[in-house]
Amino acid sequence: MAHFSIPLPARRTVSIDLSRFNGIVRLLANRRVQLALMILVPILLLTTFRSVLPIAGPLETNLRAMTKAPSLEHLFGTDRMGRDIFSRTLAGIQISMFVGFAVALLSLIVGLVVGTLAGFFGGAIDRVMMTITDIFLAFPSLLLAIGLVSVMGTGMLPVVLAISLSDVPRFIRLQRSMALSLRSRAYIDAARTVKASHLWLMTRHIVPNTIASLLVAASIAAANAILVEAGLSFLGLGIMPPAPSLGNLIRDGQSYLEQAWWISTLPGAVILLIAISLHFLSDGIRQVLDPRSRK
């Protein structure tokens, strides 16, 4: 555990509030967060600047370099059509990251709004919301996504919506349970004795105290979305080839497993790496929030 301490002035006369940035500083001082960033930042840089890297484009075929094993020229090897797997993986990461981010953001926003309302007001709104989430939670997540893709067709938007559909109810549940327990806190009662509005109570007292936990959940949801998207594409139900989504890459290699192991396994390892670092990130946030959880 790295120890970071920022010396605070003993007597503060200027009202610059250092403690406000404490959270971010402590987050960056957390070893798991550092580890996660050490993996995520280079990957993101590589994918962002892949067009200036000295590698072939993800869709470029090269008939002279078909099914080449990994080498310095082709880090991850090439596939049957001579396309560079490394380049395709970088492009795939971009798609995966987008899906992960979009799902996490969508789930976070809907979960925050609906969950807060249901938990804070309770009663009929709450019961209706809980019945609806129950119905969605009755589907195993991949199957719900498959069902939805069968209706909306394949492509980026349907995939994002299909994955979110099983995450949103979980976020609503989470936010609702936190709002429900915060609702009876003494500081909410104190604000209610001066007739503070519902909006005030929700935005000042409930959301600031739940947002961090939602962020933890969101980074896990992002990791999960990346895995589910890859699974869908792998089954041929996600993003359509030739778009190089990571699931498609693995699917491409499935038939040549014996002849060209690298086509499937290396992109899969990258997915794993990203998922692990997102989990480290969420673990780190949780540790910073609640030092006891390290137990």
Query: Which residues are near other proteins by CB under 8 A?
Result: 1, 11-12, 15, 17, 19, 131-132, 134-135, 138-144, 146-148, 150-151, 185-187, 189-197, 200, 204-205, 208-209, 223, 227, 230-231, 234-237, 247, 250, 253-254, 257-258, 261, 264-265, 268-269, 271-272, 275-276, 279, 295
Name the minimum Å distance from CB 46 to other proteins. Answer: 21
Q: Closer to other proteins at the Cβ: 56 or 207?
A: 207
Using N-to-C axis directions, what is the helix angle for 22-29 and 31-48, rounded to 10°? 90
d(CA 20, CA 289): 14
Name the minimum Å distance from CB 140 to other proteins. Answer: 4
Name the minimum Å distance from CB 64 to other proteins. Answer: 27
- CA pseudo-torsion sign 234, 240, 246, 250: positive
Question: CA–CA distance from 111 to each of 58, 128, 227 (Å)?
Answer: 36, 15, 21
Name the minimum Å distance from CB 114 to other proteins. Answer: 17
d(CA 206, CA 285): 19
Q: Closer to other proteins at the Cβ: 52 or 138?
A: 138
Half-sphere exposure of 253 (CA within 13 A, CB side): 32
Residue at token pair 């010396």: 7
Name the minimum Å distance from CB 244 to other proteins. Answer: 16
Q: Closer to other proteins at the Cβ: 106 or 278?
A: 278
Q: Closer to other proteins at the Cβ: 65 or 207?
A: 207
Name the minimum Å distance from CB 200 to other proteins. Answer: 6
Name the minimum Å distance from CB 51 to other proteins. Answer: 27
Q: Closer to other proteins at the Cβ: 118 or 144?
A: 144
DSSP 73-104: SSTT-B-TT--BHHHHHHHHHHHHHHHHHHHH
Closest to 107 (Cα-Cα) out of 174, 202, 177, 158? 174
Contact of 238 with 223, CB cutoff 8 Å: no
Q: Closer to other proteins at the Cβ: 124 or 194?
A: 194
d(CA 21, CA 185): 26
Q: Closer to other proteins at the Cβ: 64 or 295?
A: 295
Q: Which amino acid makes up residue 184?
A: S
> Which stretches of the chain are DSSP H helices?
22-29, 31-48, 85-121, 123-137, 141-152, 156-183, 186-193, 198-200, 207-234, 246-254, 262-289
Q: Closer to other proteins at the Cβ: 56 or 88?
A: 88
